[in-house]
């Protein structure tokens, strides 16, 4: 984004405490922040990241020493906010849940597929659950997952494969005890 002279003047005035200039700067920056947040944030976190970034910019603009560094500062703020929101989401998803609390009247069958999948995910060890959530729920690539978890891409693939295999085993129908007794030769 090239800064035009009027924007540069508004930026300088906003840094010096002019509230109208600050409003103009924030309005102009909002579109760039949103575009950048769309690339770095999950779909549900875009607007939150933009709002938090605008609030932080309005508070900290006076501390910006070089006006020419505004654009890179702006994008670092929104990227950091997107990463914070991703960590918060991952933290919430990684918390053990009491399945009875989420099983409410909105579920047509309390023993249905949703409950089974939730129980399968809850039964996975934390490192397997995390990689399944990153790949299958958040849609990250293997490269992104490997970087986030400090793994080699091949190790991330192997861990994902093992996690999915464990989840499939958990979800597979279990033969009844009577059938097992009949099937075992004496």
- The whole-number pLDDT of residue 96 equals 65
List the domain range (segments joined by +) for residue 129: 96-174
Residues 140 and 121 in one domain: yes
Instruction: Kindly state the helix (H) or strand (E) to which residue 71 belongs, with its residue range.
Output: helix 70-94
Tens of pLDDT along 12-68?
888 888 889 888 888 888 888 888 888 888 777 888 888 888 888 888 888 888 888
What rounded mean pLDDT belongs to the chain? 80
What's the CA gap between 139 and 155, in Å, rounded?
Answer: 18
Number of domains in the chain: 2
pLDDT value at 185 more than 60: no
pLDDT of 175 over the 70 cut: no
- For residues 94 and 109, the model is more confident at 94
The answer to whether residues 47 and 110 belong to one domain is: no
Q: What is the pTM of this model?
A: 0.46
Rounded mean pLDDT, 97-115: 56
Q: Specify the pLDDT at position 186.
A: 47
Q: Which residues contact 51 (CB under 8 A, 6 or more apart)?
A: none
* Residue 76 clears pLDDT 70, i.e. is over it: yes
Question: Are both 102 and 151 inside the same structural domain?
Answer: yes
Say how many C-beta atoms besides its own lie within 10 A of residue 164's C-beta: 16
Residue 15 included in any domain: yes
In-domain check, residue 29: yes
Domain stops at, among 56, 85, 114:
85
Q: Token match 């949103």: residue?
A: 34
Residue 84 sits at the vertex; the CA angle it makes with 143 and 125, to the nearest 5 degrees, is: 60
Q: Is 70 domain-assigned?
A: yes
Least Cα distance to 87 among 47, 127, 134, 46 occurs for 134
Q: CA 40, CA 79: separation in Å to the nearest integer?
A: 6
Same-domain status, 9 and 80:
yes
């Amino acid at each position: 984004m090239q800064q035009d002279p009027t924007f540069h003047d508004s930026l300088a005035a906003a840094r010096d405490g002019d509230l109208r200039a600050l409003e103009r700067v924030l309005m102009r920056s909002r579109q760039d922040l949103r575009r950048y947040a769309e690339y770095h944030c999950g779909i549900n976190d875009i607007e939150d990241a933009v709002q938090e970034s605008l609030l932080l910019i309005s508070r900290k603009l006076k501390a910006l020493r070089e006006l020419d560094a505004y654009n890179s500062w702006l994008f670092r703020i929104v990227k950091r906010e997107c990463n914070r929101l991703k960590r918060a989401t991952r933290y919430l998803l990684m918390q053990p849940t009491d399945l009875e609390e989420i099983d409410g009247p909105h579920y047509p069958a309390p023993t249905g597929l949703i409950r089974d999948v939730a129980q399968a995910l809850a039964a996975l060890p934390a490192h397997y659950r995390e990689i399944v959530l990153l790949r299958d729920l958040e849609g990250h690539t293997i490269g992104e997952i490997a970087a986030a978890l400090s793994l080699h891409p091949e190790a991330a693939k192997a861990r994902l494969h093992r996690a999915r295999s464990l989840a499939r085993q958990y979800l597979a129908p279990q033969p009844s005890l009577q059938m097992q007794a009949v099937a075992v030769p004496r």
